[in-house]
Amino acid sequence: MKSFDAIVIGAGQAGPFLAARMVEKGMKVALIERKFLGGTCVNAGCMPTKTLVASARAAHVARNGAVYGVNLPGEIAIDMKVVRGRAETVTMNARNGLIGWLTGMEGMTVIYGHARFEDPKTVSVNGETLTAPRIFLNVGARPVIPALSGVNDIDYLTSTSIIHLDTLPRHLAVIGGSYIGLEFAQMYRRFGAEVSVIEHGPKLASREDEDISDAIADVLRSEGIDIHTGASDIAFARSRDGITVATDSARIDASHVLIATGRKPNTDDLGLDAAGVITDKHGYITVDDSLATNVDGIWALGDCNGRGAFTHTSYNDFEIAAANLLDGDDRKVSSRILAYALYIDPPLGRVGMTEKQARASGRKIMTSTRPMSRVGRANERGETKGFMKVIADAETKKILGAAILGIEGDEVIHGIIDAMNAGTTYPALQWSVPIHPTVSELIPTLLGDLKPVQL
The whole model's pTM is what?
A: 0.96
pLDDT in tens, the chain (455 residues): 999 999 999 999 999 999 999 999 999 999 999 999 999 999 999 999 999 999 999 999 999 999 999 999 888 999 999 999 999 999 999 999 999 999 999 999 999 999 999 999 999 999 999 999 999 999 999 999 999 999 999 999 999 999 999 999 999 999 999 999 999 999 999 999 999 999 999 999 999 999 999 999 999 999 999 999 999 999 999 999 999 999 999 999 999 999 999 999 999 999 999 999 999 999 999 999 999 999 999 999 999 999 998 999 999 999 999 999 999 999 999 999 999 999 999 999 999 999 999 999 999 999 999 999 999 999 999 999 999 999 999 999 999 999 999 999 999 999 999 999 999 999 999 999 999 999 999 999 999 999 999 87
Q: Which residues pair with 125 in a beta bridge?
A: 128
- Domains of the chain (ranges; CATH) run 2-141+264-335 (3.50.50.60), 151-261 (3.50.50.60), 339-452 (3.30.390.30)
Cβ neighbors of 58 (< 8 A, separation 6 or more) are none
Cβ neighbors of 376 (< 8 A, separation 6 or more) are 436, 437, 441
Q: Which residue from 261, 313, 225 is spatially nearest to 40, judged by alpha carbons?
A: 313
Instruction: Map residue 311 onto helix, strand or coil.
Output: helix
Largest CA distance in the chain: 70
Cβ neighbors of 134 (< 8 A, separation 6 or more) are 5, 6, 7, 297, 298, 299, 325
Cβ neighbors of 127 (< 8 A, separation 6 or more) are none
Q: Give the integer Cα–Cα distance in Å for 61 and 56.
A: 9
Among all residues, which ones are annotated catalytic? 436
Q: Give the integer Cα–Cα distance in Å for 196 and 249.
A: 13
